[in-house]
Amino acid sequence: MKDYLTGNATVESVPVASSKDVVQARQVVRNLAQRGGLSLVHQTKLVTAASELARNMLVYGGGGVVRAAEVTGSQGVGVFVDFRDDGPGIRDVEQALTDGWSSGRGMGLGLSGAQRLVNEFDIQTGPDGTTVTIVKWNR
């Protein structure tokens, strides 16, 4: 995925170590979506995806950091969000992105559902942690 944070993007960071922090991350993403002029439908999709990914980061990765910014690209204005944790990584990304698959603690819709709600989605994972990056464009 292209690095949309180069240039003049102002990045907002939210450390996530509790459910309260997940709520704070959601609010930061919502505010950026509103400032970026995303429609209410696109705001809802982005915030839902961000909520699922931040919750997953807390539950499976032990917490981490959410970074978000309003960005401009060839598609126009959008919101970039990444979720970084230092957890054990995702053993099988393809399986984790399959609807209905769960590690046993969820409904199996978090990653695949979040992927469907945004325009760009990327996962980088390994034994030292996982980064999920999403972008929702104002279309």
- The domains of the chain, with CATH numbers, are 12-137 (3.30.565.10)
Question: For 72-98, how does the pLDDT look when each residue is reduced to its tens digit (9 = 90+)?
Answer: 888 889 999 999 999 999 888 888 787
* Most confident among 1-5, 66-70, 89-93 (mean pLDDT): 66-70
Angle at CA of residue 118, ends 132 and 127, nearest 5°: 10
| Distinct helix (H) and strand (E) counts, the chain | 4, 5
